[in-house]
Amino acid sequence: MSIDMAQFHQVFFEESFEGLDIMESGLLNLDMGDVDSEAINTIFRAAHSIKGGSGTFGFSAVSDYTHVMETLLDEMRDGRRQVTQSAVDVLLGSVDCLREMLSAIQDENDIDEISVAEHKKALELELNGGQANLQAVAIEISEQAGNKITGTPTDSSESGWKISFCPHADLLKTGNDPVRMFRELSELGELEVLVDLQGVPSLFDLDPEECHLSWTLILKGNVQRSEIDDIFDWVEDECDLSIQTLNSDEAPALVQKINSISSSTESQDGSDFKQNTPPIIAKPAKAEEKKAKAAASTSIRVDTGKIDTLINMVGELVITQSMLSLVGEDFTADKIDQLKNGLVQLERHTRELQESVMNIRMLPISFVFSRFPRLVHDLSSKLDKKIELKLVGEHTEVDKTVVELISDPLVHLVRNSLDHGIEMPADRIAAGKPEMGTITLEAYHRGGNIVIEVKDDGKGLNKEVLRAKAIEKGLLDADTVLTDRQCYELIFMAGFSTAEKITDVSGRGVGMDVVRRNIQSLGGNIEITSNLGFGSTISINLPLTLAILDGQSIAVGDETFIVPLGSIIESIKISDKMVNRVAGKGETFRLRDEYLPIVRMHNVFNVQSAKATKLTEGLLVVVDGQGVRCGLFVDDLLGQQQVVIKSLEANYRRVEGVSSATILGDGSVALILDIPGLVRLSNQ
Amino acid sequence: MTQETDTQEVKRTKSENSMQFLSFTLGEEEYGVDILSVQEIRSWEPVSRIPNVPSYEKGVVNLRGAIVPIIDLRERFNLEHSKYTNLTVVVVLQTILQGRSRTMGVVVDSVSDVNNIEAQSIQSAPDFGTKVSTEFISGLALVDERMLILLDVKKLLKLDGVDNDAEEDDDEN
């Protein structure tokens, strides 16, 4: 009887939000002319499970609301109602409304009653606007009563019930908890609780396991007697219970009385009371939900196949381990081959295990992409543009952290394309393009990276306008010569906006710089290519995972550092002839056609033990980090390995020239180098 | 539920009156830190040096997968540096700073004892003027006729202060 439902809330919310996503994409894909009944079924099922779930957990506002939606969907499903654009729009609005309601409940905020009521009204209008049918009317009636539908009106009181509940002292010992009962009651209607403290003995005589309180409850609303009886069913023999109908005249007076009494009890012995008894009266539901929220954490849905592979792999690992310990028990020299074999197996299994664990964190990018059809649908109708959205490579898998962090920057980019990129239909026709504009969202793997592209066939970026704008805003000197790429890069500068007027969609000039910063903080970069009159492409390059990196270990003296393998171009031994000095200080060397600065690691990091101090003695590792190229002067290259990235900042702080740390095979810590930071450091 | 609250209350009353401190020595001086902030005591192990930081920040070590900085308290307090031996001890301290937990190891000469100290008997640190920095000292206590300098772990682990020092250090260079 006393299962703590709060522990399931998180799951319910996750499932409901998923259900809402399903409904949303289903609604967007509905083809007005030829409605696929399976599509409506899918939407209906999602709505139904949200209704069921919210009913179970007592979120009656949600279940009532979903019920109305369900009725509408039900009629569509049975073909009693035409699927119209207006109906779909109303339903989409309701999906938003539900999402807000659920987030409000999740965050323990109050539901925005007004907006809910508005949406509900819109839904009911839609319902009644079609063929007026009995069910709809029934709903409206029940809506006015502010409650669930009740089959027959008999045996129910219009205004409510007055319940006096006086439990026997040993009620709690049987595992019954008045708080839970009151909570259930409060789901039926508006509940006023008045507690009688007269039975409470002095602190000395107080037995904490006995119940000394009795209550008078006023339950307002259209509730059936049987529903109340159900709640008190379990405690009937252990209390004195009387349930009377509440006369509508009597109710307000009584409530007033309760208010005055409760305020007086509060002031008189409120403090005393709070200390000695469990906090039954003080909004128990709220306290419990708080706890649940604190425990709530993000979770991830994993394909069982992936878990099975993982279990297999752990099995293999256990076998290898037992084999190795057998070899180690009485080790003789002739067993060396066995040992080597075992170690090879161990290495393979560890690597496989690592890969499949990483695989669990991988989610298809469609988790991000799926929100865009709705966004484009809403925005394009708002801006009176005709736009088609194409999604390509939705099944490309990315690390969960990347998925979570990339979605906001992507939304921004798509909105930009919609607002600035694609022209108005008339302009498009005038330019000889199809009336319908296209935005393509594409994701694919390239090397160890994932590339996400936002492509539009709009008007493209005008270099001259960008330039003029930058000069006008004082971001650029009038006589600066810019390459194409540098020109496009201007839009990433803070305070830059080319929109003629500021709309609520975009144009405030904050944003693109934030987008770029977000993406760089993920270890990625962003690039723009554009063709005036034919559209632009923004491509984002991101590492597949943020937790593991392919690294090259380098030695400087007796210290080891890791350089991300992806940023190494080549390693060379140089002769004195290749080195030039600039202003007597800065060393550069010539690599093919480029002059690159030399960063002496032992100088920059103050390594006393460095073996190579003359450039000819060591090696030059040519690296490229976010467009910054240089030659790192080191003693030696050690080897390549995958390293697990560990944060330095968790317990320490940011160190210039170092991006993070890792733990080497011998248990010691090595620093992972940050190339742009190193270059900055060496210039100081 | 009632029982839980009871035990909690008992604990609170106890801790209100007396606190336990782990005491350790740095040369002649004896220091104490709140035992609740001590995570573990380890022997000295070679650290990985961090470039361009003040010399008292010895470097970082791998503590069961977490990267933890090691600070030499002698150098931090401007005491004479002593050679690290097998007996040199690292006290790993943990506290909550700005909403997240921070772990840091401090190098001390040796760990001596755990002392119960009554809250009333803790005196505030006298002002030594500018000669001796008292910013990390939360109080002084007398234990068996010896003076124990009680350290404020939160201030000790706060890296913002360290960061400022680091900047000064850079300027000198």
Q: Please indicate whether residue B134 or residue A338 has the higher confidence score (pLDDT).
A: A338
Tell me whether residue B42 is in a domain.
yes
B4 CB-side CA count, 13 A: 2
Give yes or no for A605 touching B (CB within 8 A): yes
Q: Please indicate whether residue A225 or residue A657 has the higher confidence score (pLDDT).
A: A657
Number of structural domains (chain B) is 1
For residues A29 and A111, state if they share a domain.
yes
Lowest mean pLDDT among A24-28, A214-218, A252-256: A252-256
Buried b (16+ CB within 10 A) or exposed e, A461-497: bebeebbebbeeeeebeeeeeeeeeebbbbbbeeebb
Looking only at the bridges linking them, the beta strands covering A548-556 and A636-644 are antiparallel
Tell me whether residue B11 is in a domain.
no
Residue A93: pLDDT band by 50, 70, 90 thresholds?
confident
Q: Determine, for residues A606 and B163 on separate chains, whether the beta-carbon distance falls below 8 Å.
A: no
Tell me whether residue B9 is in a domain.
no
Tell me whether residue A296 is in a domain.
no
What is the rounded distance in angstroms from the CA atom of residue A639 to the CA atom of residue A624?
Answer: 19
A655 chain-B contacts, CB cut-off 8 A: 50-53
CATH of the domain at B67: 2.40.50.180
* Closest A-chain CA to B100: A650
Tell me which residue in B60, B62, B100 faces A667 most closely, judged by beta carbons. Answer: B62
Residue in the structure block whose two tokens are 């002392």 = B115
Tell me whether residue B2 is in a domain.
no
Q: Which of B48, B63, B171 best probes binding to A when mutated, by most A CB atoms within 10 angstroms?
A: B48
Contacts of A578 (CB under 8 A, 6+ apart): A589, A590
Q: Determine, for residues B46 and A650 on separate chains, whether the beta-carbon distance falls below 8 Å.
A: no
> pLDDT at position A582, please?
76
Are A442 and A455 in contact by the 8 Å Cβ rule? The answer is yes
Model pTM? 0.49
For residues A658 and A678, state if they share a domain.
yes
Q: Determine, for residues A559 and B65 on separate chains, whether the beta-carbon distance falls below 8 Å.
A: no
Q: Determine, for residues B65 and A646 on separate chains, whether the beta-carbon distance falls below 8 Å.
A: yes
> pLDDT at position A33, please?
66
CATH of the domain at A71: 1.20.120.160
- Residue A317 Cα, gap to closest chain B Cα (Å): 21
Tell me which residue in B67, B100, B103 faces A669 most closely, judged by beta carbons. Answer: B67
Q: Residue B8, exposed/middle/buried by CB under 10 A (0-12, 13-18, 19+)?
A: exposed
Buried b (16+ CB within 10 A) or exposed e, A547-564: ebbebbbbbbbebbbbbb
For residues A72 and A183, state if they share a domain.
no
Tell me whether residue B123 is in a domain.
yes
What phi, psi does B60 have (nearest 5°)?
A: -125, 150
Residue A513: pLDDT above 80?
Answer: no
* Closest B-chain CA to A606: B51
B158 chain-A contacts, CB cut-off 8 A: none
Tell me whether residue B31 is in a domain.
yes
Residue A354: pLDDT above 60?
Answer: yes
* Closest A-chain CA to B69: A652
CATH of the domain at A572: 2.30.30.40
Quickly count: other Cβ atoms within 10 Å of residue A155's Cβ.
9
ipTM: 0.77
- The average pLDDT across A663-670 equals 86
Tell me which residue in A559, A606, A651 faces B66 most closely, judged by beta carbons. Answer: A651
Tell me whether residue B13 is in a domain.
no
- Residue A367 Cα, gap to closest chain B Cα (Å): 30
What is the rounded distance in angstroms from the CA atom of residue A439 to the CA atom of residue A457?
Answer: 7
Per-residue pLDDT tens digits for A383-441 = 888 888 888 888 888 888 788 788 888 888 888 888 888 888 888 888 888 888 899 99
For residues A96 and A202, state if they share a domain.
no
For residues A414 and A523, state if they share a domain.
yes
> pLDDT at position B15, please?
52
Quickly count: other Cβ atoms within 10 Å of residue A580's Cβ.
12
For residues A502 and A419, state if they share a domain.
yes
Q: Determine, for residues B69 and A651 on separate chains, whether the beta-carbon distance falls below 8 Å.
A: yes
> pLDDT at position B1, please?
44
For residues A377 and A524, state if they share a domain.
yes
A344 CB-side CA count, 13 A: 6
Residue A487: pLDDT above 90?
Answer: no
Share of chain A above pLDDT 90, in %: 3
First to last CA, chain B: 61
Its domain, for residue A192, covers 156-289
Write down the mean pLDDT value for chain A.
Answer: 76
Q: Determine, for residues B68 and A668 on separate chains, whether the beta-carbon distance falls below 8 Å.
A: no
The SS3 call for residue A544 is coil
Q: Please indicate whether residue A488 or residue A6 has the higher confidence score (pLDDT).
A: A488
- The average pLDDT across A279-295 equals 41
Number of structural domains (chain A) is 5
For residues A184 and A133, state if they share a domain.
no
Per-residue pLDDT tens digits for A563-604 = 988 788 889 888 888 888 877 667 888 888 788 888 888 888
> pLDDT at position A264, please?
44
Amino acid letter, A585: K
Q: Which residue, of A124, A144, A164, is where some domain finishes? A: A144
- The average pLDDT across A629-658 equals 85
B47 chain-A contacts, CB cut-off 8 A: 669
Q: Which residues of chain B have pLDDT under 50?
A: 1-13, 160-173
Lowest mean pLDDT among A63-72, A127-136, A169-178, B102-111: A127-136
> pLDDT at position A293, please?
40
Residue A147: pLDDT above 60?
Answer: no
Q: Which of A608, A652, A662 best probes binding to B when mutated, by most B CB atoms within 10 angstroms?
A: A652
Tokens of A354: 């690592």
Tell me whether residue A132 is in a domain.
yes
For residues A537 and A410, state if they share a domain.
yes
Are A488 and A462 in contact by the 8 Å Cβ rule? The answer is no
Are A50 and A99 in contact by the 8 Å Cβ rule? The answer is no
B48 chain-A contacts, CB cut-off 8 A: 559, 661, 668-671
- The average pLDDT across A450-454 equals 88
Tell me whether residue A606 is in a domain.
yes
Are A388 and A439 in contact by the 8 Å Cβ rule? The answer is yes
What is the rounded distance in angstroms from the CA atom of residue A310 to the CA atom of residue A318?
Answer: 12
What is the rounded distance in angstroms from the CA atom of residue A130 to the CA atom of residue A72?
Answer: 10
Residue A142: pLDDT band by 50, 70, 90 thresholds?
very low
Tell me whether residue A170 is in a domain.
yes
What phi, psi does A432 have (nearest 5°)?
A: 80, 20
Its domain, for residue B128, covers 19-167
- What dihedral angle (degrees, nearest 10) is formed by the CA atoms of A582, A588, A593, A594? -100
Share of chain A above pLDDT 70, in %: 82
Quickly count: other Cβ atoms within 10 Å of residue A614's Cβ.
8
> pLDDT at position A182, please?
79
What is the rounded distance in angstroms from the CA atom of residue B94 to the CA atom of residue B97?
Answer: 9
> pLDDT at position A156, please?
47
What is the rounded distance in angstroms from the CA atom of residue B156 to the CA atom of residue A362?
Answer: 40
B50 chain-A contacts, CB cut-off 8 A: 652, 655, 658, 671
Q: Determine, for residues B1 and A278 on separate chains, whether the beta-carbon distance falls below 8 Å.
A: yes
- Residue B62 Cα, gap to closest chain A Cα (Å): 6
Residue A675: pLDDT above 90?
Answer: no
- The average pLDDT across A87-108 equals 83
CATH of the domain at A250: 3.30.70
Tokens of A121: 């009204």
Q: Please indicate whether residue A285 or residue A545 has the higher confidence score (pLDDT).
A: A545
First to last CA, chain A: 70
Per-residue pLDDT tens digits for A261-279 = 444 444 444 444 444 444 4
Q: Determine, for residues B50 and A671 on separate chains, whether the beta-carbon distance falls below 8 Å.
A: yes
Residue A364: pLDDT above 60?
Answer: yes
Q: Which of A510-514, A663-667, B165-169 has the highest mean pLDDT?
A: A663-667
> pLDDT at position B24, please?
92
How many helices (H) and strands (E) are present in chain B, helices listed first? 4, 10
What is the rounded distance in angstroms from the CA atom of residue A96 to the CA atom of residue A378?
Answer: 12
Q: Determine, for residues A604 and B48 on separate chains, whether the beta-carbon distance falls below 8 Å.
A: no
> pLDDT at position A32, please?
67
> pLDDT at position A525, please?
79
Residue in the structure block whose two tokens are 């109340």 = A228
Tell me whether residue B133 is in a domain.
yes
What phi, psi does A296 have (nearest 5°)?
A: -65, 140
Tell me whether residue A295 is in a domain.
no
Sheet holding B146-151, edge to edge: B110-118, B18-26, B29-34, B146-151, B137-143
Q: Which residue, of A360, A376, A406, is where some domain finishes? A: A360
Per-residue pLDDT tens digits for A191-205 = 778 787 777 777 777
Backbone torsion region of residue B129, taken as left when φ is above 0, otherwise alpha when ψ lies between -120 and 50, otherwise beta: left
Are A187 and A58 in contact by the 8 Å Cβ rule? The answer is yes
Sheet holding A586-591, edge to edge: A568-572, A619-625, A628-634, A594-600, A586-591, A579-582
